[in-house]
Amino acid sequence: MSIPTALITGITGQDGSYLADFLLTKGYRVVGMVRRSSTENFERIEHLRGQVEICQADLLDQLSLINLLRQVRPGEVYNLASQSFVPTSWEQPVLTGEFTALGVTRMLEAVRLVDREIRFYQASSSEMFGKVQEVPQTERTPFYPRSPYGVAKLYGHWITVNSRESYNLFACSGILFNHESPRRGKEFVSRKVTDGVARIKRGLADQLFLGNLEARRDWGYAGDYVEAMWLMLQQPQPDDYIIATGDTHSVRELCEIAFARAGLPWQDHVMVDQKLVRPAEVDLLQGDASKAQRVLGWHPRVSFRQLVEMMVDADLARHAQRP
């Protein structure tokens, strides 16, 4: 039997690195697409050097994607690359649309041109629910995005659905709720808090400035969520799935657990900075992943408390080694 080949766009990101880990354990040949930059940004996949192949292409460049598929000949494409930080999407809405919305069309067009048998996964987002129309959110909940990022993701979602319905491509949209890990970028609130806790504990800082403490998210563990991406592409039919824990917690609760893990009183250190409050907020996300549980047999394994404590412990260890 031949070895299956997976192409991951965004392999240098949080999810790309966990997905590469996962697919390697499944015996895949893993190829990661990276964009050209003057310095390498391979920290999250450093441990995989020699085990994954890295190729250059860019979601902004149609021909580079076509050539990449011709060269790699993957059976599965996981399109994880995007401008993924919500606040930046207000600063750079056009660029966000180019990467996060039109980038999906470019990749789907490349699939259609090179090999229609490729199975395609699109990294869609709970941010599309925005001003939520019902709680919890399911695959049938109407969308109401609240940021240029959410609007761009919504385009990516519908072009994926449309490519399935128009061209019969095996294209799936995974509507993933927030998922975190010790590899999370430090600008996202979970990692900002756990890194802040570790810095305060080690005497490197005294305060942590945050925005809206009342926002609620359905936070899960990235290592659990990448398995769901793979499961979607192993089904007999392509479809769309919510991936979530079903639990929701506030940023305030995140702070309580994270600071307590390090034995610190959070109220003494957390300050609210109005500049960090968003022009339009997503107040509450809570997903209903019962379809994924029923059809894919997928279940989250790591609880919110376990996740936060895992991240605090990792940041404490990191700051102990190199302040």
Q: Which residues are catalytic?
A: 125, 127, 149
Between vectors from CA 75 to CA 176 and to CA 14, what angle results, nearest 5°? 35
CA dist list (Å): 208 to 71, 86, 178, 256: 47, 20, 21, 13
Complex with ligand GDD: residue 28 or 221, whichever CB lies closer: 221
Given the rule CB under 6 A, which of 13-21, 157-165, 245-253, 286-294 is the region that contacts ligand NAP? 13-21
Residue 248 binds ligand NAP, judged by CB under 6 A: no
Q: Of all residues in this chain, which one has the CB nearest to ligand NAP in the complex?
A: 13
Residues 100-139 that bind ligand NAP (CB under 6 A): 123, 125
Residue 227 binds ligand NAP, judged by CB under 6 A: no
Query: 58, 166, 80, 70: which is closest to 111 by C-alpha?
Result: 70
- According to DSSP, the residues that pair with 76 across neighbouring strands are 6, 119
Q: SS3 for 144?
A: coil
Binding partner of residue 215 among ligand NAP, ligand GDD, none, CB under 5 to 8 Å per kind?
ligand GDD
Complex with ligand GDD: residue 61 or 283, whichever CB lies closer: 283
Determine the Cα–Cα distance for residues 281 and 289; give it in Å rounded to an integer: 23
Complex with ligand NAP: residue 10 or 238, whichever CB lies closer: 10
Residue 223 binds ligand NAP, judged by CB under 6 A: no
Strands 170-176 and 119-125: parallel
Q: What one-character DSSP code corresponds to residue 47?
A: G
Residues 181-200 that bind ligand NAP (CB under 6 A): 185
Residue 58 binds ligand NAP, judged by CB under 6 A: yes
Provide, rounded to whole angstroms, the least separation between the CB of residue 240 and ligand NAP.
Answer: 13
CA dist list (Å): 111 to 114, 122, 161, 235: 5, 13, 14, 19
Residue 41 binds ligand NAP, judged by CB under 6 A: yes
Residue 314 binds ligand NAP, judged by CB under 6 A: no
Total H helices, total E strands in the chain: 11, 13
Determine the Cα–Cα distance for residues 255 and 307; give it in Å rounded to an integer: 13
Provide, rounded to whole angstroms, the least separation between the CB of residue 278 and ligand GDD.
Answer: 5
Residues that bind ligand GDD (CB under 6 A): 84, 86, 125-127, 177-178, 187-190, 192, 210-212, 215, 217, 251, 276, 278, 281-282, 285
Provide, rounded to whole angstroms, the least separation between the CB of residue 223 and ligand NAP.
Answer: 12
Determine the Cα–Cα distance for residues 313 and 182; give it in Å rounded to an integer: 9
Which one of 31, 69, 80, 228 is in contact with ligand NAP (CB under 6 A)?
A: 80
122-150 burial: b if 16+ Cβ within 10 Å, else e: bbbbbbbbbebeeebbebebebebbbbbb
Residue 68 binds ligand NAP, judged by CB under 6 A: no
Residue 218 binds ligand NAP, judged by CB under 6 A: no
In Å, the largest CA–CA distance within the chain is 60
Which one of 12, 62, 160, 248 is in contact with ligand NAP (CB under 6 A)?
A: 12
Within 10 angstroms of residue 34's Cβ, the number of other Cβ atoms is 21
What angle in degrees, to the nearest 10, is found between the helix axes of 148-167 and 103-114?
20
Q: Which residues of the shown chain bind ligand NAP in the complex (CB under 6 A)?
A: 9-10, 12-16, 35, 37, 41, 58-60, 80-84, 99, 123, 125, 176, 178-179, 185
